[in-house]
Chains A and B, each alone.
Chain A
Amino acid sequence: MKKILILFLCLLCLTGCSSTSSNIDIQTLDSELSQKITFEDELTLYEGNVQNLYGIEEPKSSIVYVGSGATAEELAFFEFEDTTTANEAYEQLEYYIKERKESYAIYNPKEAERLENAIIKIKDCVVLLCVSNDENALEKINEYL
């Protein structure tokens, strides 16, 4: 009985996420990476509905920067309630980028090429999406994720 209880508690710890256990804070990620990663377009903080924008479940919190449309660049940080939802969002973002590539391939092939280097990273309940002009973006992101 004791062993079952201990096992159950361990499983609970694995599926949930708290800021103390993951040690990843999207505000910190944002303050570091949004300044370090370079973009060709002017990105603006987006305050609209990210679920509809990306087709993901509503995140626990998010910080999203979008461009003017002149390029495919964007930067987004999401924190989800649990790793399952985070993983689903990761897959959906891969699909989102694939669709963007197909759209841009017709109207702006240069941006379709840029999307080939889109970065989607996941750690615990945090997911990051970055499409930029910065060839060192992945290296910079890897310092934190």
Chain B
Amino acid sequence: MKLKKSVIIVGIVMIFVFISGLGFFLIQNKKENATVVLESSEEKEQEEIGFDYSKPVLECSPMEDETYFNDAIFIGDSRTEGFMGMTNLDATFFTHIGLTVDTFFSDPVLYMNGQKVSILEALKNTNFQKVYIMLGINETGWKYSNLFAQKYGEIIDAILQINPEAIIYIESILPVSKEVSDTHAYIKQDKINEYNSLLQNLAMEKKVYYLDIASFLKNEEGYLPVGASLDGIHLNKEYSLKWLQYLKNHYIVENTLEGENK
């Protein structure tokens, strides 16, 4: 009798242990599944985001040739005009001396079919898939930095309205020489640095790509090196080709990992 009782008790205890163990196993499994599901959702979210716009385009495998730029438009002031001449890149250039984020919209500075038109009008009448913008040095004398960023944002909005699929690159404002920064009435390297921070934020806000060419070109002190320019502002041929090389090493091709910075 006593033996029978003991067997029953052991049996009950074993059943209890078994049930507990089974229950524990089931709960654990559910958690793991939930984690797997969550990670998959996160990955999916990351895939949907596709790019961390708060960071510059990272270096990637260099372009094999320059045909990537054939459907690109370069918008800029005299520095980009100089880049156009020094590199002879087969792209479209909408540039003008003294161009600003304001005059982009208003001033008829380009020849198109025998007429003078604004940069905006020229864009509306041109096929493009990529746009490179470098503006800001002529605005470094402006009193309100946020006005510069606001106007720059309006340019991006205008471009996206014309071509919502366009790959838009904000090129950082290139550095100037120490001499220019020390002596020029309004062009100061500190101001350029401030504007570049605003531009990087703008890229994140507008989900466009930021190219940190400035960091690549500047010397240890943060200025354009001696020997890079005749006037400390406009790049000579050697440095214009360095600028071009940077673009050839930092680019985006949709639906590939080129330039991805996750």
Q: Which residues of A contact B (CB under 8 A)?
A: 40-42, 44-48, 51-55, 66-71, 100, 103-104, 106-107
* Main secondary structure on B side of the interface with A: mixed
In the complex, A54→B114 CA distance in Å? 10
Residue of A nearest to B99 (CB): A103
Q: Indicate if the CB atoms of A68 and B235 lie closer than 8 Å.
A: yes
Are A66 and B85 touching (Cβ within 8 A)?
yes
- Inter-chain pairs besides A46-B88, A55-B116, A69-B97, 13 sampled, C-beta below 8 Å: A52-B110, A55-B114, A66-B85, A67-B82, A67-B85, A68-B237, A68-B240, A69-B82, A69-B85, A70-B230, A70-B233, A71-B231, A107-B78
Q: Which among B82, B97, B233, B236 has the greatest number of chain A C-beta atoms within 10 A?
A: B97
Cβ contacts A to B, 30 pairs, < 8 Å: A40-B230, A41-B230, A42-B230, A42-B236, A44-B85, A44-B86, A44-B88, A44-B237, A46-B85, A46-B88, A47-B88, A48-B85, A52-B110, A55-B111, A67-B85, A68-B82, A68-B85, A68-B86, A68-B229, A68-B237, A68-B240, A69-B81, A69-B234, A70-B82, A70-B230, A70-B231, A71-B231, A107-B97, A107-B98, A107-B138
Contact (Cβ within 8 A) B237 A42: yes
Q: Is B211 an interface residue (CB 8 A)?
A: no
Any A CB within 8 A of the CB of B75:
no
Give the residues in chain A near B78, CB-CB below 8 Å.
69, 107
Instruction: Tell whether B96 is near chain A: CB-to-CB under 8 Å.
Output: yes
Nearest 4 A/B pairs, CB to CB: A69-B82, A66-B85, A69-B234, A70-B230
- Complex-state Cα separation, A107 to B81, whole angstroms: 15
Whose C-beta in chain A lies nearest to the C-beta of B115? A55
Q: Give complex CA distance A48, B93 in Å.
A: 10
B82 touches A106 (CB 8 A): no
Mask for B203-233, Cβ within 8 A of A = 1, else 0? 0000000000000000000000000011101
Task: Classify chain B's interface size.
Answer: 20 to 34
How distant is the Cα of A84 from the Cα of B84 in the complex, in angstroms? 30
A52 lies within 8 A of B111 (CB): yes
Distance from A69 Cβ to chain B, minimum over Cβ atoms (Å): 3
Bound form: Cα–Cα A45–B237 in Å: 11
- Tell me, in angstroms, the Cα distance from A48 to B109 when the chains sit together: 18
* Known contacts A48-B84, A48-B88; A68/B234 CB under 8 A: yes
Q: Are A104 and B84 touching (Cβ within 8 A)?
A: no
Most A CB atoms within 10 A — which of B78, B112, B114, B116?
B78
CB-nearest residue of chain A to B84 = A48
* A70 to B235 alpha-carbon distance, docked (Å): 8
* Complex: chain B residue closest to A40, CB-CB: B230
